[in-house]
């Protein structure tokens, strides 16, 4: 209100954030959610949509300031104290934030695809919701290092290096799934009317190609 519409968050940023929310909603509801429940390939597609489509759009929105201002006055004061702590001041620097984001993105992606955690998320709805929430969190953290306003983001070469490294780590997961000699998950993880190994290989191929290609393309841009 004080600065005028579009001066704090531009119209393109607001549109990106709204589109990111829409993509998340579509990924979490039928038919996308039904596809994820019925096959391992559908599960992987759902995760890729969250990590490399919805998350960059949300990060591009730059909605942190707006969401902070929506908090009650007391909560804003509490948030400001935490934000100004030494640790968080260090982590807000673009290079440090990008390192944290890259490590968190890779760790979360690999952890949730370990067979034990994968099965736990599939069998417990609350854990499954936490899985998706963690994907959104680390996705936004990573992409904010390259898509926020210029003074808060990495330079072009560093952004390319960051996304290339993260993309290769994600592609390594795809390679493990693609070239494993047999299924790594229990039968209920795969499509009922298809070969379990073929379903896993297709999901791994999609992960390998999509994560590596999208991260490299994002870094180049």
Q: What is the pLDDT of residues 139-170, one digit of tens each?
A: 998 998 888 765 667 777 888 888 888 888 88
Per-residue pLDDT, averaged over 181-209, amounts to 88
Per-residue pLDDT, averaged over 59-87, amounts to 80
**What backbone torsions phi and psi does residue 112 show, to the nearest 5 degrees?**
-70, -10
Per-residue pLDDT at 14: 87
Per-residue pLDDT, averaged over 123-133, amounts to 92
Give the model's confidence band at 132: pLDDT under 50 very low, under 70 low, under 90 confident, else very high.
Answer: very high
The rounded distance, in Å, linking the Cα atoms of 67 and 12 is 17
Per-residue pLDDT at 93: 77
pTM of the entire structure? 0.84
């Amino acid at each position: 209100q004080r600065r005028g519409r579009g001066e704090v968050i531009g119209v393109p940023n607001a549109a990106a954030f709204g589109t990111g929310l829409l993509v998340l909603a579509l990924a979490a509801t039928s038919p996308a959610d039904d596809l994820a429940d019925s096959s391992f390939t559908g599960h992987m597609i759902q995760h890729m949509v969250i990590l490399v489509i919805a998350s960059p759009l949300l990060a591009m929105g730059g909605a942190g300031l707006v969401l902070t201002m929506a908090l009650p006055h007391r909560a804003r004061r509490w948030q400001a104290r935490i934000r100004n702590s030494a640790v968080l001041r260090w982590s807000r620097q673009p290079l440090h934030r990008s390192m944290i984001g890259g490590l968190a993105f890779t760790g979360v992606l690999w952890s949730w695809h370990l067979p034990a955690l994968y099965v736990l998320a599939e069998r417990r709805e609350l854990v499954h919701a936490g899985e998706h929430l963690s994907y959104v969190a680390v996705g936004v953290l990573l992409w904010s290092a390259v898509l926020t306003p210029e003074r808060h983001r990495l330079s072009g070469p560093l952004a390319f290096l960051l996304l290339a490294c993260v993309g290769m780590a994600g592609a390594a997961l795809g390679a493990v799934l693609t070239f494993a000699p047999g299924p790594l998950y229990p039968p209920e993880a795969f499509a009922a009317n298809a070969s379990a190994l073929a379903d896993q290989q297709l999901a791994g191929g999609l992960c390998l190609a999509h994560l590596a290609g999208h991260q490299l393309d994002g870094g180049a841009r």
